[in-house]
């Protein structure tokens, strides 16, 4: 970080990103099954990925949840990822 000004001296940004989930980690005890825990982890991942891509999570998840049931192939699911521009078209629908 001394030679490259783009590098951060600490990992405080990463720690701040995961803090809400670390604080609520005891809630994982109430994930009744492994499938429930995996589903929670998937939702947390989608939320944080949306934030990392500068998208408000609700604005991202709302159209994704409306269209995910129509996904038939991997490409259909990949089109729902936050960095794909097709999501902007979905929000206009």
pLDDT in tens, 39-62: 888 888 888 888 888 888 888 888
Task: Evaluate if pTM is beyond 0.85.
Answer: no
Question: Does 7 fall in a domain?
Answer: no
Whether 88 has a pLDDT exceeding 70, the answer reads no
Q: Residue 69 has which token pair? A: 């049931």
Q: What percent of the chain is predicted at pLDDT more than 90?
A: 5
Question: Does 24 fall in a domain?
Answer: yes
Question: Does 68 fall in a domain?
Answer: yes
Question: Does 2 fall in a domain?
Answer: no
What residue numbers bound the domain in which 51 lies?
A: 12-92
Question: Does 5 fall in a domain?
Answer: no
Number of domains in the chain: 1
Q: What percent of the chain is predicted at pLDDT more than 70?
A: 78
For residue range 25-38, list pLDDT tens digits in order: 666 667 778 888 78
Q: CB–CB of 59/91 below 8 Å?
A: yes
Question: Does 1 fall in a domain?
Answer: no
Residues 37, 41, 43, CA angle at the centre, nearest 5°? Answer: 120
């Amino acid at each position: 970080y001394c030679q490259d000004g783009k590098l951060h001296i600490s990992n405080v940004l990463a720690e701040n990103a995961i803090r809400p989930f670390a604080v609520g980690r005891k809630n994982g005890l109430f994930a009744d099954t492994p499938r429930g825990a995996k589903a929670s982890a998937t939702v947390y991942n989608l939320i944080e990925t949306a934030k990392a891509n500068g998208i408000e999570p609700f604005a991202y998840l709302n159209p994704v949840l409306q269209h995910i049931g129509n996904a038939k192939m991997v490409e259909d699911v990949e089109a729902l990822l936050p960095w794909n521009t097709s999501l902007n078209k979905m929000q206009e629908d």
